[in-house]
Copies of this chain bind each other. A is one copy, B any other.
Amino acid sequence: MEERVTIRELARRSGVSVGTVSRALNGYADVRPETRERIMRLASELDYTPAAAARSLVTQRSHVIGVFMETGEGHPDLQHPFFHEVLGGLKQRVGREGFDLLLFASERPGGGYGPHSYLKRARHHSVDGCALIGLDPDDSEVRRLVRGEIPCVAIDMQLEGPNTEVVMSDNEAGAAEAVRHLHGLGHRRIATITGMIDSRPGVDRLRGYRNAIQELGLAYRDEYVRYGDFYAESAREATEKLLALPEPPTAIFAAADLMAIGAVRAAAEAGLSVPADLSVVGFDDIQLAPHVNPPLTTLRQDKLGLGAAAGDALVARIAGDPERPQLRTLPVELVVRGSTAAP
């Protein structure tokens, strides 16, 4: 069982005080080059590693970003591919700045006193900042967190706080573009399957759909709007209903790729082929989008970019950067593949 090598050990072995070792290691100017040299060599020989706990205790900086990430009801943790890609972007970006990610898993921080609380968990670990992914913005605990002193960034959620920023895609514009694309192809009977309507992306994409329908002079039909939950199964059912309409749509804008895939599936089950009999456009451009059959026409979200933007925001706020926009919106891009065609 190897003993942990501490800064004290280093001091002892190199014949100087711990203060000097600390300064040498941290690159302070006021230390004789040869002393520093000696210490550095010793440190690397002994494979010295500073204890983050001790350091953060004194510096009040943990270099850790907390991540609260959940997904919709009934869909256990970490299921939607979208979130993972965002997480990947976040990880890369903050990693470059020397931060690690603490993925909160425990609900009993610090051994169990007190109720479940985001703020508490964040404080317990002294995270320098928090990323919020897939939470319920109406949760009072979430609100308490963003009202607190810890810099936060919310992804795809409408949230306000003195120290929090929001990052999301331009969902409304993207949805509108989907409809315009379909219209340009010659479609006039265009339906939509929405995401969860209590989420910001859900309502924004629906709004974009409505705006475009109106702007293009198409008649808005209530029966062409079905409510889904971002996952495949909901869209499959919705599509069934849509296709059973007396005047079924010739095209569907699904507010998520997973739902677009569910729609394609429902079409196939109804003996219809995409895009010959029905056009489908998704949203997200998940990793699989180009590989499914047919490849999905979709609105690409810059998922890595979203994560990176979130990381940027956090890092800047942590560094004390004062004026920052409260909301940053990233553009989405129409990617035309094989699931859409003229009616």
Contacts and interface: CB of A to CB of B under 8 A. Distances in A.
Of the listed residues A4, A44, A123, A262, the one surrounded by the most CB atoms of chain B closer than 10 A to its CB is: A123
Interface string A283-304: 0000110011111000000001
Given A64-B102, A293-B293, A88 B94 contact: no
Contacts of A110: 49-50, 52, 55
Given A50-B124, A120-B47, A149 B291 contact: no
Contacts of A109: 49, 52, 100
Assembly stoichiometry (copies)? 2
A88 B95 contact: no
A76 interface: yes
Contacts of A258: 288, 291
Given A88-B79, A258-B291, A100 B106 contact: yes
A119 to B, nearest CB: 8
Interface string A64-78: 100100000000111
Given A1-B149, A78-B84, A292-B293, A95 B105 contact: yes
A51 B57 contact: yes
A25 interface: yes
B77 A91 contact: yes
Contacts of A96: 106
Given A1-B149, A120-B47, A292-B261, A106 B111 contact: no
Given A81-B81, A103-B67, A126-B51, A98 B108 contact: yes
Contacts of A56: 53
Contacts of A102: 64, 100-103
A232 B288 contact: yes
A77 B92 contact: yes
A95 B113 contact: no
Given A50-B124, A87-B78, A102-B101, A264 B293 contact: yes
A143 B116 CA distance: 38
Interface in A92-136: 92, 94-114, 117, 119-121, 123-126
A114 B47 contact: yes
A294 B293 CA distance: 8
A2 interface: yes
Given A94-B105, A100-B103, A101-B105, 10 more contacts: A1-B149, A49-B120, A52-B124, A53-B62, A77-B88, A84-B84, A91-B105, A102-B103, A261-B292, A265-B291
Q: Ordered nearest first, which 8 A-B pairs have the shortest CB separation?
A: A95-B105, A78-B88, A101-B103, A232-B291, A53-B53, A77-B88, A91-B105, A49-B123
27 contacts: A25-B113, A43-B113, A44-B113, A49-B114, A49-B120, A49-B123, A50-B110, A51-B126, A52-B126, A53-B57, A78-B88, A81-B84, A91-B105, A95-B106, A97-B106, A98-B111, A100-B125, A101-B102, A101-B105, A102-B103, A232-B288, A258-B291, A261-B292, A265-B291, A268-B294, A288-B288, A293-B293
